[in-house]
Amino acid sequence: MLTERRCGILCHPTSMPSPYGIGDLGQGAENFIEFLVEAGQTLWQVLPLGPTGYGDSPYQSFSAFAGNPLLIDLEQLVEEGLLPKEEISPPPTFPEERVDYGAVIAFKHRVLRRSYENLSGPLQEEKAAFEEAQRFWLEDYALFMALKEHFGGDPWIKWPSDIALRQPDALAHWRQALAREMDYHRYLQFLFERQWQRIKAKANAKGIAIIGDVPIFVGHDSADVWSHRELFYLDEKGSPTVVAGVPPDYFSPTGQLWGNPLYRWDVLAREDYSWWLARLRRVLSQVDIIRLDHFRGFAGYWEIPAEAKTAIEGRWVKGPGKDFFLAVKEALGSLPIIAEDLGLITPDVIALRDAFDLPGMKVLQFAFDTDGTNAALPHNHVPNCVVYTGTHDNDTTVGWYHSRDELTQHKVRLYTGTDGRDIHWTFIRLAMTSVARMAIYPLQDVLGLGSEARLNFPGKPSGNWCWRYRQEQLTPELAQALRDLALITGRWIEPGAKKEAAPEPIEYESP
């Protein structure tokens, strides 16, 4: 799958059209799949699918295993008899082009709770089968979420110490006291899984592979850390002693202080990386290819004292390296993994990536800040990589270009042989004509949108992950343009057409 020449679009489901304030796994997702087909695209990249926590970020999830209930399509629940139509019709008035998370969360959970009361019959049996298959993570997650609601949304570190530290008597008490709430959260996960697998099957049936995103770190306020404290550097009360981040970089002169607890890789290794293997198996049941975020952290990671105010005070610590990936390969076989190798990449990171033949990433927006040796410039690409115009952390290509200094803009115009007016399309063409086997571009770049459509500002604590598009923006003309470019660059073959065989070599006689 990673050796074929392909192209596709990065678009998280939250950005899709829906009457209910946020994109979901319903008609908007189905329409997007149809657009990919019409546009000759065979890759769809999404962000992490977990339930969002702090700042609504998919990279700060309450669970590395669970799905986001906000993505549940309510109209499917009406069709299945779980909701009366009047519960969602007419829907509240939501902004059309952005997500108002507060309003969406209140509305969706009210309606989802109503649907839970109507669960019965065959769906009840399906739910029981799902629970049995996912018990290894679902029980702790359901209790975590029930407790979180019971304690007013407080992080687990602020709960009473007996349950925060999972003393057996406290666990038994709360499982009984919150049994109904736990079952509600199992129900939400059942709905999400059922709907996501339906969407995935539709995409796969159309020849579209889904690229999922696995952050290397997990949030401290998560079911994962609460139920597996022994796997992280925490003190006796459960607070992190050291946290994750990166040193000063492209995005921040003081680095990025992410705050995620760091793994005790020695403990994970003694357990044959069983928690990580379970996590990867779970993700690979939902997507076809994994983008492993912050890949460099497996070679070496930036360790910051928990009390530090910025990331400057950190230090490099050696990661698990080859030992981890050998364990993954032995357990899972082939590694359909894209290594997110951006940032400060040292020889040990390159050696680790290449030892397992993992494709790395090239981002065109990073290509013009040095000289002609810049690895992100298309003439320096290699086939075993994925080229992006930009990522979810970047400005849109239009916004990026217009915020550059005149020298950088001149380099872009000189390299591309354009005047910069259609810079988004110019960058898509650069990506498509690259020798990189896979080319990905955010939907915002396909639509030619400016900075107002940016999805995330690294280091900005709120106001991110809100952008949405309107269905009428995905025009037949846009699909045709993408399809033509995918065809001419060898990234798509028209259905029924055969790949042309290479011509026989011509032999010339010596004079």
Q: Which residues are catalytic?
A: 293, 340, 393
Alpha carbon separation from 137 to 18, 173, 222, 391, 463 (Å, rounded): 30, 20, 12, 30, 31
The whole-angstrom distance between residue 335's C-alpha and the CA centroid of its chain comes to 17
Nearest to 185 by CA among 105, 60, 77, 69: 69
Alpha carbon separation from 69 to 52, 86, 193, 248, 284 (Å, rounded): 9, 21, 10, 35, 19
Terminal-to-terminal C-alpha distance of the chain: 47
What is the Cα Rg of the chain in Å? 24
Is there a contact between 63 and 224 (Cβ–Cβ < 8 Å)? yes
CA distance 114 to 388: 42
User: Could you give the angle at the alpha carbon of 285 between the alpha carbons of 279 and 287, nearest 5°?
Assistant: 100
Nearest to 254 by CA among 301, 297, 295, 314: 314
The DSSP annotation for 146-183 comes to HHHHHTTT--GGGS-HHHHTT-HHHHHHHHHHTHHHHH
Is there a contact between 399 and 451 (Cβ–Cβ < 8 Å)? yes
The DSSP annotation for 72-115 comes to --HHHHHHTTSS-GGGTSSPP---SSB--HHHHHHHHHHHHHHH
User: Could you give the angle at the alpha carbon of 391 between the alpha carbons of 385 and 397, nearest 5°?
Assistant: 110
Alpha carbon separation from 346 to 243, 295, 318, 333 (Å, rounded): 21, 12, 12, 27
